[in-house]
Chains A and B, each alone.
Chain A
Amino acid sequence: MTRVARVSLKALAGVALLLPGHLWAAAMADDIRLARTIGWREVGEPRRLHLAAAPPIAKVEVRDRWASRYEERVTFVSGSYLVFESTRYAYSATVPLQHLFYQMFGLDEALTAQGLQPGIAQAAVRSFGGRATAYYVAQGKTKTCFSFASQFAAVSPGVRDRMLSGQDCRPNGTISAEELVRAWGALLDGIQIR
């Protein structure tokens, strides 16, 4: 056995000796947070999104401290939300919109809570405001939910580097799936991005 192999063995033996140390390792404060909560800050008005006909807005937040992206989230009074993302790096050119929708909403907590788990093929694709959009609308246990995702290029033709996504879940009986699609269609048609 070479000298280095012997050293490796000793190092590994040292690691093995650390096992008992596991028993005395004490707890320390845990300041790890979920990524989804990090970096958002509230601003007064939407900065990049121009909403021609929007329902009442509860709050607008932006996440602008990371060099790799800019995000803007508009939460409406109804609890529904709309997120715009502008990224420095392109989204995958090989992922079709329906697949993108699955990545974002296939295991969505709000949909799962309603007993809804959309597969890739279950998202419909349609153009809203000139942007190809994959969306899914379905009635769950207590709510009817509309979810969507759209990726497009800042400058056409170009790589996809902008994204709009969002979700609206309303109590069953207050709005039909068709009406929900129409309402969001009107909203998305009126969105302009600065």
Chain B
Amino acid sequence: MSGDVLPGGETVGRAAGVSRHSELTRTAALVVIVFFAYFVLGLRLAHGDYFRANNFLFDYDAATYVRTLCSAGEFIPRHPFVGALRPVCKAALGVGIPLPVAISGFFAAVGALTVGVAYRCFASLGVALPERLLLAAFLALSSCQAINGVVADTFGLSALGLAALYLIFMSRENHPARAPVARYAVAAYLFGVTVTNLMQPVVAEVALWFGRVSTRELVRRLILSGVVLGVILLAGMLLCVPWDILSPIDVLKHYKGDSEFPGPERAGLWTIVETFVAYAFIAPDFTMVPLSNGEPGMLDFRDFRMSGFGLAALALWVLLLASGIGCAITERRQRRLAVFLGLVIALNLVMHLYVQFRLSVYIYAAHVQIAILLLAAFALHASSLRRGRVRAAVLTALAALVLLTGLNNIPRFIEMARAIG
């Protein structure tokens, strides 16, 4: 096999075709492995009472989404197009697959695809093969991603759409006019699974075009894109809203109601940062949260109670993230990506100061987890360009991070799967 080899181990030239084929095979293998891991865990969870009720874990509404995806369901204004996925579950049930298997398989597939798309993001960022495989393993083992590959809710669906958004952003970074259809498809998908996630494709457009065109042209493009997207979303709403039950006024009232988060309980900025940066990756011990009206208590990650493995993994992860942020600030080639990721993380932190319910902020980590991981990946991109001891040390630390995360998180996942029966 011939061809030039970049410092990161990537090949160019004649070998590139073979390399692309190998890369596709690796991505597929990764997706299959992660799928089976999540699927087994999901089946164990389904063996108990988990899918029969809401709020057993992390304020996820498992019963609501099982019903929405697999039965007559209900329209959920915050996630308006989720019901459109119902035929997938219906088809599975139609060929005789039992409900717990169908629902576990569906979310395991979504979770595994997310890891696969994130892996391609790391490749697009220029992270070399060993590093990006380890980083994908870290993501697959991280608490938020693994749990979203197991539980039934929209957060896993959001993570998949966001990973696709970041991948498309990277493909457009130097050619922003690319992907004219994909950008709208992803934006519509993200709105459809969680309306607030529409913010991220909007920020992406601004980050891609800012400074490349005049302010006037930027505003014109944003308005035009907004109109096109508005038409797509309106068409989706026309299809998905049960207009025989809900009038347009009722739908607007739902959105108004959903935008009001009552109650004096509010998680502060530090709690949200701690949850998104630490607990979303390295699971602490579970906290039992009592609920009202006779609902059984909910298991959540709320308190800083870590095992020794968890503390060691957290130290390595914080070091990697800090290095990644440093590299992202100094990196020139992909400055737009760094700015975009920084903006979406910051805006999500601000948004979830207000958009939260009974201190359950862990669930929202899925909206920023891959963005945070991509910031960390800047450090691995930088080390991929180096040879010798520095790169060996980084690879060793990354392997240790994956190992320690697995040693800490896998027991948590097993506990979670056994907790409700």
Contact = CB atoms under 8 A, between A and B. Distances in A.
Contact of B295 (A19, A35, A105, A165): A35
- Most A CB contacts (10 A, CB to CB) among B87, B117, B171, B178 go to B87
B356 interface: no
B84 A19 contact: yes
B337 to A, nearest CB: 15
A18 B87 contact: yes
A4 B52 contact: no
A181 interface: no
Contact of B171 (A2, A31, A92): A2
A23 interface: yes
B382 interface: no
Given A22-B240, A66-B421, A71-B296, A28 B71 contact: yes
A97 to B, nearest CB: 11
Interface in B74-133: 81, 83-88, 90, 93, 113, 117, 120, 124
B267 to A, nearest CB: 11
Contacts of B188: 16
B2 interface: no
A32 B239 contact: no
A56 interface: no
Interface residue tally on A, bucketed by range: 35 or more
Contact of B70 (A28, A36, A99, A119): A28
Contact of A30 (B27, B71, B83, B179): B71
Interface in A1-47: 1-5, 8-9, 11-13, 15-16, 18-36, 38-39
A5 B185 contact: no
Contacts of A33: 52-53, 63
A107 interface: yes
A94 B55 contact: no
Contacts of B352: none
A155 interface: no
Contact of A22 (B52, B164, B239, B295): B239
B348 interface: no
A32 B53 contact: yes
B72 interface: yes
Interface string B156-185: 000000001001100100000011011001
B297 interface: yes
A25 B86 contact: yes
Contact of A12 (B27, B48, B189): B189
A92 B53 contact: no
A23 B288 contact: no
Contacts of B120: 2, 4
A85 interface: yes
Given A12-B182, A90-B287, A92-B287, A18 B297 contact: no
Interface in A80-122: 85, 87-94, 99-100, 102-109, 119-120
A161 B70 CA distance: 37
Interface in A111-154: 119-120, 149
A66 B86 contact: no
Contacts of B24: 3-4
Interface stretch (B195-203, B299-307, B328-336): B299-307
A149 B290 contact: yes
Given A9-B185, A36-B294, A71-B296, A89 B288 contact: yes
B358 interface: yes
A103 B299 contact: no
A69 B296 contact: yes
A182 B259 CA distance: 42
Nearest to B54: A35
B291 interface: yes
B72 A23 contact: no
Given A2-B124, A63-B296, A32 B63 contact: yes
Contacts of B290: 85, 91, 100, 103-104, 149, 163, 165
A68 interface: yes
17 contacts: A1-B179, A5-B164, A8-B117, A9-B185, A18-B87, A26-B90, A33-B53, A35-B53, A35-B56, A38-B296, A39-B49, A39-B296, A87-B288, A91-B288, A93-B303, A103-B291, A161-B288
Given A25-B73, A39-B296, A89-B288, 16 more contacts: A4-B24, A9-B182, A12-B164, A20-B239, A21-B87, A21-B90, A22-B239, A27-B71, A29-B71, A66-B419, A87-B288, A89-B285, A89-B286, A92-B287, A94-B302, A107-B263
6 closest cross-chain pairs (CB), A and B: A35-B53, A21-B87, A27-B72, A68-B419, A36-B294, A12-B185
Interface of A: 1-5, 8-9, 11-13, 15-16, 18-36, 38-39, 63, 65-69, 71, 85, 87-94, 99-100, 102-109, 119-120, 149, 161, 163, 165
Interface of B: 20, 24, 27, 48-49, 52-56, 63, 66-67, 70-73, 81, 83-88, 90, 93, 113, 117, 120, 124, 164, 167-168, 171, 178-179, 181-182, 185-186, 188-189, 236, 239-240, 263-265, 285-297, 299, 302-303, 305, 358, 418-421
